[in-house]
């Protein structure tokens, strides 16, 4: 769904990331610290608590190229159920709600359902949000490829 009103652009998308990993290894990959293993340049700075600790109320920041500093809040954390949710805001650019639900797919595989609800906060970000919605399937394919390459196959990330 894409809504383009006099307010701002809003996009909602859901995708699936299939992983050749058991649930116990897959779920932690969708945490602030876990993404370091498969997202090039991902370097969360912990605001509260000031150390890596997944859980409701965790606040951390990342830098998004071309957009600025994203302040993230983990709003839900249920590891046994495979559920993690986040909200992030990039001041004067966009905000997003991200829901991840990891499920088992047999003993050695799992999949993550990833839902994004993203809203532009300025005219400058309207195009970014529209493009995000248009490219979402490619975005999810990139996540699956990065997890396969860097976590399953063990190819080191390029941090240049």
pLDDT (tens digit per residue) in 93-103: 999 999 999 99
Considering the segment(s) 2-152 as one domain, its CATH architecture is 2-Layer Sandwich (3.30)
Question: For residue 97, what are the contacts with CB-CB under 8 A and spacing of at least 6?
Answer: 85, 86, 87, 115, 116, 117, 118
**pLDDT for the residue 5:** 53
Q: Residue 138 gets which letter from DSSP?
A: H
**pLDDT for the residue 3:** 55
pTM metric for this prediction: 0.90
What 3-state DSSP class applies to 109? coil
Q: Which residues of the chain fall short of a pLDDT of 50? A: 4, 159-160
pLDDT in tens, 61-91: 999 777 789 999 999 999 999 999 999 999 9
**pLDDT for the residue 159:** 47
Query: What whole-number distance in Å separates Cα of residue 112 and Cα of residue 14?
Result: 10
Question: For residue 20, what are the contacts with CB-CB under 8 A and spacing of at least 6?
Answer: 108, 109, 148, 152
Q: Which two tokens stand for residue 41?
A: 């340049």
Place of tokens 């116990």: 24
């Amino acid at each position: 769904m894409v809504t383009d009103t006099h307010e701002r652009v809003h996009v909602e998308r859901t995708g699936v990331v299939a992983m050749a990993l058991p649930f116990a290894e897959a779920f932690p990959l969708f945490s602030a610290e876990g993404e370091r293993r498969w997202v090039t340049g991902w370097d969360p700075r912990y605001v509260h608590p000031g150390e890596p600790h997944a859980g409701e109320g965790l606040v951390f920041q990342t830098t998004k190229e071309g957009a600025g500093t994203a302040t993230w809040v983990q709003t839900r954390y249920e590891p046994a159920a495979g559920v993690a949710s986040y909200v992030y805001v990039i001041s004067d650019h966009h905000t997003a709600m991200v829901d991840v639900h990891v499920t088992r797919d047999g003993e050695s595989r799992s999949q993550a359902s990833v839902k994004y609800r993203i809203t532009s906060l300025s005219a400058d970000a309207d195009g970014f949000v529209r493009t995000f919605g248009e490219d979402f399937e490619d975005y999810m394919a990139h996540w699956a490829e990065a997890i396969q390459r860097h976590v399953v196959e063990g190819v080191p990330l390029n941090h240049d």
